[in-house]
Amino acid sequence: MIKPTPLLLLGVAGWLAAAPVIAQPYVYPARGQSSSRQTRDEADCYVWATNKTGFDPARPAPAPVSGDTKVTGSGARLAGAGVGAVVSGATGGSAGTGAVIGAAAGGVTRRIRARNAAEKQNAQMAADRQARQAGWDQARTACLTGRGYSVR
């Protein structure tokens, strides 16, 4: 059984927050179309808007990018250790202690940068999906309006 960790819960919460809420507008048959005709027209306009925009609101949003980056092998700790040793040695401290502190700082810095980059990418993906959804809504509304429906 998978135990929910705070990071996993945070990731799921972020994904849910980034998912757009799709509020469908009301469609009124302004020319007295039957309900079966309206159902067919709405389905046709859904397909038309999807083909026209290349966006399908029924498809799930892409998974959010994770900011969890392994520091091992990145060189961040080694670079931090080198800087820490030099700074500590230059200021009269122990180069070994400075290297340890620098290695830890390098790892933390690498993780923070990766997390910030992931947050920026997730925000961009959410904004892109929102813009594509708006274009699809506009195309669907144009199709339904052209078929004699009032869309609000």
Vertex 84: Cα angle to 79 and 89 (nearest 5): 130
Query: What percentage of the chain reaches a pLDDT higher than 70?
Result: 59
136 CA to centre of own chain: 19
Residues 44 and 143 sit within 8 Å (Cβ to Cβ): yes
Determine if the pTM surpasses 0.85: no
Which residues lie below 8 Å from residue 38, measured CB to CB, with a gap of 6+?
27, 29, 149
Q: Residue 11's pLDDT is what?
A: 46
Q: How far apart are CA 81 and CA 75, in angstroms?
A: 10
Residues 85 and 96 sit within 8 Å (Cβ to Cβ): yes
pLDDT, tens only, 29-86? 999 999 999 999 999 999 999 999 999 999 998 888 876 655 555 566 566 656 666 6
Domain-wise residue ranges, the chain: 27-56+70-151
Q: Residue 15's pLDDT is what?
A: 42
> Within 13 Å and on the Cβ side, how many CA atoms surround 112?
6
Nearest to 79 by CA among 100, 97, 96, 103: 103
